[in-house]
Amino acid sequence: MSRCDLHIHSRYSARSEEWLFRRFDFPDSYSDPKTLHGQLLTHGMDYATITDHDTIEGCLQIAHLPRAFVSEQVTTHFPHHACKVHILVWGISEQQHRDIEGVRDNIFELQRYLQAGQIAHAVAHPLYSVNV
C-alpha cells in the first residue's frame, strides 16, 4: 500500500480561511515546496503532492522531483448561493488546472468536468465551515 498526504499546503496558499489567520493576514503555510517534498518522503510518504488554494505554483516547483504529482485545493460555490466548498483534486496537468479555473465558480460544472476527465477528487474538510 502506498502512502501520500493528500491535503497539505505550501507558502503558495496565500490567504487562509481561518478567521484568526485572516485577521493578521497570515497564510495557511510558510513552507517551501521543495522542503515539503523532502520532508514528506523522509517521513515515510511514497509520493508527494501539494494542495494549495486555487493554484498549482507550489506543485510546479516539485513536479520534476521523484514521486511528485500536481494537485490543488479548488474553491467552488453553489450557484445562487454564497456557500463555498473546497474540493481537493489530484494528479492534474497544467491544462486541467486552467480548465478548472474556468468552471470552478459553479460546483456542479466543476464536478461534471472532474467526472468527465476521471480526475480524482474529494471534498476537503467536510465538517469544517469555510463560510465564516
Per-residue pLDDT of 1-14, as tens digits, reads 999 999 999 988 87
Residue 9 lies inside a defined structural domain of this protein: no
**Cα–Cα distance measured from residue 20 to residue 15, given in angstroms and rounded to the nearest whole number:** 11
Res. 19: pLDDT tops 70: no
Model-level pTM? 0.87
Q: Which domain covers residue 55, as residue numbers? A: 19-123
Residue 61 lies inside a defined structural domain of this protein: yes
Residue 33 lies inside a defined structural domain of this protein: yes
User: Which amino acid appears at position 57 of this protein?
Assistant: E
Residue 65 lies inside a defined structural domain of this protein: yes
Residue 14 lies inside a defined structural domain of this protein: no
Percent of the chain with pLDDT over 70: 83
Coil, strand or helix: which one is 89?
strand
Per-residue pLDDT of 49-100, as tens digits, reads 999 999 999 999 999 999 999 999 999 999 988 788 999 999 999 999 999 9
Residue 98 lies inside a defined structural domain of this protein: yes
pLDDT, the chain, mean:
89
CATH number (domain holding residue 108): 3.20.20.140
Q: Please give the tally of structural domains in the chain.
A: 1
